[in-house]
Amino acid sequence: MIKTVIIEDEKPASRKLERMLSHFPEIEVVAKIESVEEGVAWFSENEHPQLIFSDIVLGDGLSFDIFEKVPTKGFIIYTTAFDQYTLKAFKLNSIDYLLKPILEEDLSGAVEKFKSFIPFNNTAGSEDIKQLIRKEKSTLSRVLVKIGYNLKIVQTQEISCFFSENKIVYLQTEERVYPSDFTLDELEDILEEKKFFRVNRQFIINSDYIKNIHTSPYYKVDMEFQPSEEITVSRDRVKDFKEWLLG
């Protein structure tokens, strides 16, 4: 049996996930945890499970806090309504990332992915887990932005570019420019590589919105939706940029 723990502070969501997991006869839910405090206590006192399903935002903090205080050798599948935490999730033994509401086919795919990671002896050291996880990197599909007191979800496919200005990273859409909580280094790690490319220290562009490329005297890119700044490809990135365009 695959010992499994659910970390979720909303009882209806916890019950629903437990019901969905009951369709997998090989999975046994051994505990349901509702807070960071309860999680730290449970993982400090009990044998760690092989698999953990964890919401990210809990009533008393982020579930990341649990595993930063009590490192686990178990595999984690995060469940959440937002995916701005993707990068940090994949630094903490996460093998998959399910956006709510969770679909049966997505859950089934996550469980199958977990099974593919289980070593023959059903155990793995933390470094083994990290190596496995690096081979399965999820990409950012949407970004949560704040507009005054409101929140808006922006699909990455709607973003022509990300750019840095005065130590803040912004994203450009047809509608307007929005600030984000990411750094360009983080975005470079989690955006779809076939679509997005870091052309210089200031810009990451989306290939779908390239309008024109000037090759003389420098490589300069015009985007359909572009901030006022000129986008120039760094000299040391030109070769990679041309390969990316062909890729």
Q: What CATH code is carried by the domain that includes residue 116?
A: 3.40.50.2300
Note the pLDDT tens digit of each residue in 140-190: 788 888 888 788 889 999 999 999 999 999 999 999 999 998 889 889 888
Q: How many domains does the chain have?
A: 2
Average pLDDT in the 68-78 region? Answer: 89
Q: Are residues 176 and 234 in the same domain?
A: yes
Query: Per-residue pLDDT for 208 more than 60?
Result: yes
Q: What is the pTM of this model?
A: 0.55
| pLDDT above 50 (res 136) | no
Same domain membership, residue 62 and residue 19: yes
Say if residue 34 is in the same domain as residue 84: yes
Which of the pair, 38 or 123, is modelled with greater confidence?
Answer: 38
User: Where among 102, 134, 166 does a domain terminate?
Assistant: 134
The verdict on 148 and 102 lying in the same domain is no
pLDDT of residue 119: 55
pLDDT at 91 over 90: no
In order of 31, 59, 176, 178, 179, the CA distances from 147 in angstroms are 38, 23, 11, 8, 9
**Predicted pLDDT at 85:** 57
Whether residues 105 and 148 share a domain: the answer is no
Tell me, yes or no, whether 6 and 98 share the same domain.
yes
Mark whether 82 and 183 lie in a shared domain: no
Q: Which of 78, 102, 134 is the last residue of a domain?
A: 134
Mean pLDDT of 195-216: 96
At 230, which CATH number?
2.40.50.1020
> What is the predicted pLDDT for the residue at 235?
93
Same domain, 97 and 202: no
Q: 128 and 182: one domain? A: no
| Amino acid letter for position 125 | G
Give the structural domain span for 194. 142-246
Q: Domain check: are 241 and 203 in the same one?
A: yes
